[in-house]
C-alpha cells in the first residue's frame, strides 16, 4: 500500500471516529398519532345581486304578433328595469397549516410540530453526551 492510500485510510478513520465521539446520529421513531393543525381563513367571494323590477315600472303594450315576440319584449322590459350590482361576501374555509405528531422512541414519548404529514415513522436526531 502506498503512502497516499495510508493517509486516506487514516483520515477516514479519524473522520469516522470524530462522528462517533460527537455522539450524534439519526434514528427513526414510530409515529403514534398525527393530528392536523388547522386555521380558518376568510376568502372573498364576489356575487351579482339584482333587484326585481316593480310591477308599476313595467310598460304594457299591445300583444306582439307572435307569442315569441311577446316573450322577448317582456324579457327586454324586465332587464331594462332591474338593477344589478356586484357585492363581496366572505366565505370561511379551513386550511391545514401543520401537523402535531406524537412519536415514541425507546420508551420515551415525544410531541413535535411538522409542516407535513410524516407517515408511519419520523426521523429523529439522537445526541449522546457523558453524564457529569
Residue 56 has which C-alpha cell? 308599476
Phi/psi of residue 115, nearest 5 degrees:
-85, -10
What are the tens digits of pLDDT across the range 33-62?
999 999 999 989 999 888 776 665 555 566
E strands, the chain, are 24-51, 83-105, 108-114, 121-127
Range(s) of the domain holding residue 79: 23-127
Predicted TM-score (pTM) of the model is: 0.49
Evaluate whether residue 50 is within a structural domain.
yes
What are the tens digits of pLDDT across the range 98-123?
999 999 998 999 999 999 999 999 99
CB atoms within 10 A of CB 30: 10
Evaluate whether residue 92 is within a structural domain.
yes
The total of structural domains in the chain comes to 1
- Say which DSSP state 77 is in: H
> Do residues 109 and 102 touch, judged by C-beta distance below 8 A?
yes
Evaluate whether residue 7 is within a structural domain.
no
Residue 101 has which C-alpha cell? 405528531
Amino acid at each position: 500500500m502506498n503512502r497516499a492510500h495510508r493517509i486516506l485510510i487514516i483520515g477516514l478513520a479519524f473522520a469516522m471516529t470524530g462522528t462517533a465521539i460527537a455522539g450524534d446520529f439519526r434514528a427513526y421513531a414510530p409515529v403514534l398519532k398525527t393530528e392536523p393543525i388547522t386555521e380558518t381563513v376568510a376568502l372573498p367571494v364576489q356575487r351579482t345581486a339584482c333587484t326585481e323590477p316593480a310591477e308599476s315600472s313595467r310598460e304594457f303594450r299591445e300583444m306582439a304578433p307572435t307569442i315569441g315576440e311577446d316573450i322577448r319584449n317582456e324579457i327586454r322590459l324586465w332587464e331594462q328595469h332591474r338593477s344589478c350590482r356586484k357585492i363581496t361576501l366572505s366565505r370561511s374555509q379551513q386550511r391545514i397549516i401543520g401537523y402535531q405528531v406524537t412519536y415514541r422512541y425507546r420508551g420515551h414519548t415525544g410531541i413535535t410540530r411538522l409542516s407535513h404529514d410524516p407517515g408511519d415513522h419520523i426521523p429523529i436526531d439522537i445526541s449522546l453526551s457523558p453524564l457529569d
